[in-house]
């Protein structure tokens, strides 16, 4: 048993892990927040970080000095989503702290020291996704963000600031930004920190080197000169400057909405031991076979008559409800079902109904709610891409992988499609259908659509499938067009699929994670994809190294008064 496993065992003895089936829940709402307050005053939204140190997700640590764990970030992600859907009139966002002289001390060190390897990796992935969401809110929803740093912003605290558009640092002689992970803990600023320093703020590499190895960080004029913050502001002018900047950002925002937001009602979920029933999908767990099957159901009703009718439906509007439920289902598998090797996507419904919803969203593309729903789908699909489980879609009679739902087979490592119908089955033959939405609104982290990534070698094939938009494409044609991996007759189906699923469960989980992380993202890299590739992979490596996680390593010895003992060999 490696050291990471021992850490996992220790963690499982913690308060929420004594029963290892206790679920980490990603659903919350503002009235239940313990760590954040979301205030919206006209065009200006303010997110106040005020972490309740006694409300940690696990036992064994207190969330002092606005340090955070996954529970804190779940609230932050929820708040950002509510800003999008419940407050469409907000045009600028201020992030700040309620603690005196501290913005945030970053990820809680005791939590990291005690967490299993899988939890550390999943924690970093989710927090990265949340920060990417803040950037997407700025870029695509027009809500520019300001981080008002009233004191210490260390490690993950500064990384959170890096996700905003404008970093203000109070100039009080002691307030500083820092990335002390390396000198203090022998790990990396892995929540995008290194990448955003080099690629977003474009800090000169030698300055970045000095900054990332200086435990106390950088303050004052040098922080501005080195591009680490956008402004240092005297304490006496701090509040008025925040107000002025926020108003400027709001005035320049392209976000133009009339009317009020919708209410993101709590999801309706029924949990059984081996299943979760949502309203628009079901999750079925076969733990012995290490499979999770997500059955997505097409819409039960026709499209609303108008954008107003869509707004009136609110969270009940099928594409929105499905996106939220799919997101929750994926996160649940990621964090709570570590043994699942393969996620199997299936669907049931009428492909034409799905296409009708996509046409409805296309027709209302300028409406704020339609835009936010498409942006949510983009993020959920990226979450699927970044889920370190093998992904397969089974396209069978009666399924509805059309338009937006056709992204699921395209996001999968493989897809299997039945040719025609099953013997004695009266369901319509398996078909897949593309729509405009498959050619633009849902880019992957690499900036390309899934179809463009798929046909990188043969752009002509991309044009060829584009010509098939709106058609019901049968199995043989789909295979010929390159849309599915294998099209199979009924007679071969069961064996082929079974052999694949068994094989996948027999392989090394780690090697699959590494292989899939490479093969899913061909072509260009973006800052976002660099964070999940270069930075994350190096961080995961370090999270396995005794110099960090060993009994004598820096994470374990932090706070004990003992210096870490390092294996000095460079690798």
* Beta bridge partners of residue 147, listed in sequence order: 95, 167
Least distance to a second copy, CB of residue 533, Å: 4
Instruction: Tell me whether residue 89 or residue 482 sits nearer to a second copy (CB atom).
Output: 482
CB of 257 to a second copy, least distance (A): 34
Q: Which is nearer to a second copy, 137 or 451 (CB)?
A: 451
Nearer to a second copy, 200 or 247 (CB): 200
CA torsion sign for 311, 306, 373, 377 is: positive
CA atoms within 13 A on the CB side of 518: 5
Q: How many residues does the chain have?
A: 571
Element (H, E) at 488: strand 486-488
Question: What is the phi/psi pair of residue 548, to 5°?
Answer: -100, -55
Helical spans, DSSP H, in 46-195: 70-86, 109-114, 117-141, 156-162, 193-195
Shortest Cβ 519–a second copy spacing (Å)? 5
- Whole-number minimum distance, CB 269 to a second copy, in Å? 23
CA angle 556, 190, 36 (to 5 degrees): 90
CB closer to a second copy, 94 vs 154: 154
Q: Which CB sits closer to a second copy, 83 or 329?
A: 329
CA distance 458 to 298: 32
Smallest separation, CB 412 to a second copy (Å):
8
Question: Which residues lie below 8 Å from residue 153, measured CB to CB, with a gap of 6+?
Answer: 103, 104, 147, 160, 161, 169, 176, 177, 178
* Region of residue 255 (phi > 0: left; psi between -120 and 50: alpha; otherwise: beta): beta
Half-sphere exposure of 543 (CA within 13 A, CB side): 26
- Minimum distance from residue 81 beta carbon to a second copy (Å): 26
Shortest distance (Å) from residue 198 CB to a second copy: 4
- Nearest-angstrom CA–CA distance, 191 and 47: 19
**Among residues 63 and 444, whose Cβ is nearest to a second copy?**
444
Beta bridge partners of 40: 45
Dihedral angle computed from the Cα positions of residues 65, 71, 76 and 80, in that order, rounded to the nearest 10 degrees? 180
**Structure tokens of 311?**
């707004």
Q: Give the residue with the Cβ less far from a second copy, 304 or 482.
A: 482
Shortest distance in whole angstroms from residue 389 CB to a second copy: 6
Nearer of residues 141 and 453 to a second copy, judged by Cβ: 453
């Amino acid at each position: 048993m490696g050291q990471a496993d021992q850490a996992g065992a220790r963690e499982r003895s913690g308060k929420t892990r004594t029963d290892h089936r206790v679920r980490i829940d990603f659903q919350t709402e503002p009235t239940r927040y313990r760590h954040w307050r979301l205030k919206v005053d006209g065009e200006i939204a303010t997110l106040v970080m005020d972490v309740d140190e006694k409300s940690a997700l696990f036992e064994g640590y207190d969330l002092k000095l606005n340090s955070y764990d996954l529970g804190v970030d779940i609230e932050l992600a929820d708040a950002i989503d509510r800003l999008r859907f419940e407050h469409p009139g907000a045009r600028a966002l201020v992030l700040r702290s309620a603690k005196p002289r501290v913005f945030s001390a970053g990820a809680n060190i005791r939590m990291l020291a005690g967490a299993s390897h899988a939890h550390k990796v999943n924690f970093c992935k989710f927090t990265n996704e949340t920060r990417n969401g803040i950037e997407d809110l700025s870029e695509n929803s027009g809500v520019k963000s300001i981080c008002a740093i009233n004191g210490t912003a260390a490690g993950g605290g500064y990384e959170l600031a890096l996700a905003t558009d404008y970093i203000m640092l109070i100039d009080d002689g002691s307030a500083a930004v820092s990335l002390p992970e390396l000198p203090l803990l022998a790990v990396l600023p892995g929540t995008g920190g290194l990448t955003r320093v080099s690629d977003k703020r474009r800090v000169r590499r030698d300055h970045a080197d000095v900054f990332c190895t200086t435990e106390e960080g950088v303050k004052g004029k040098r922080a501005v000169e080195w591009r680490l913050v956008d402004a240092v502001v005297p304490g006496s002018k701090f509040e008025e400057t925040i107000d002025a900047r926020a108003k400027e950002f709001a005035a320049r925002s392209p976000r133009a909405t009339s009317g009020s937001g919708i209410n993101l009602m709590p999801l309706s979920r029924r949990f059984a031991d081996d299943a979760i029933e949502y309203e628009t999908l079901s999750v079925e767990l076969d733990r012995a076979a290490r499979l999770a099957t997500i059955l997505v159901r097409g819409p039960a009703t026709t499209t609303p008559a108008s954008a107003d009718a869509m707004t009136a439906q609110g969270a009940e509007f099928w594409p929105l409800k499905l996106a939220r439920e799919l997101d929750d289902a994926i996160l649940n598998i990621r964090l709570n079902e570590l043994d699942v090797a393969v996620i199997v996507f299936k669907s049931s419904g009428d492909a034409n109904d799905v296409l009708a919803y996509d046409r409805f969203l296309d027709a209302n593309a300028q409406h704020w709610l339609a835009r936010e729903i498409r942006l949510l789908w983009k993020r959920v699909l990226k979450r699927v891409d970044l889920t370190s489980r093998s992904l397969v879609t089974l396209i069978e009679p009666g399924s509805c992988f059309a338009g937006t739902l056709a992204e699921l087979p395209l996001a999968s490592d493989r897809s299997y499609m039945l040719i025609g119908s099953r013997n004695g089955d009266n369901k319509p033959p398996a078909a897949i259908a593309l729509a405009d939405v498959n050619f633009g609104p849902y880019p992957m982290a690499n900036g390309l659509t899934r179809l463009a990534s798929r046909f990188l070698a043969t752009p002509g094939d991309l044009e060829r499938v584009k010509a098939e938009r709106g058609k019901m494409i049968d199995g043989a044609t789909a295979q010929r067009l390159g849309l599915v991996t294998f099209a199979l007759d009924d007679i071969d189906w069961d064996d082929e699929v079974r052999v694949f699923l068994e094989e996948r469960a027999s392989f090394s989980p780690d090697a699959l994670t590494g292989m899939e992380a490479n093969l899913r993202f061909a072509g260009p890299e973006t800052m976002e994809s660099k964070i999940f590739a270069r930075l994350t992979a190096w961080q995961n490596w370090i999270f396995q190294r005794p110099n960090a996680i060993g009994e004598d390593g820096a994470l374990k010895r932090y706070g004990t008064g003992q210096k870490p003992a390092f294996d000095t060999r460079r690798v």
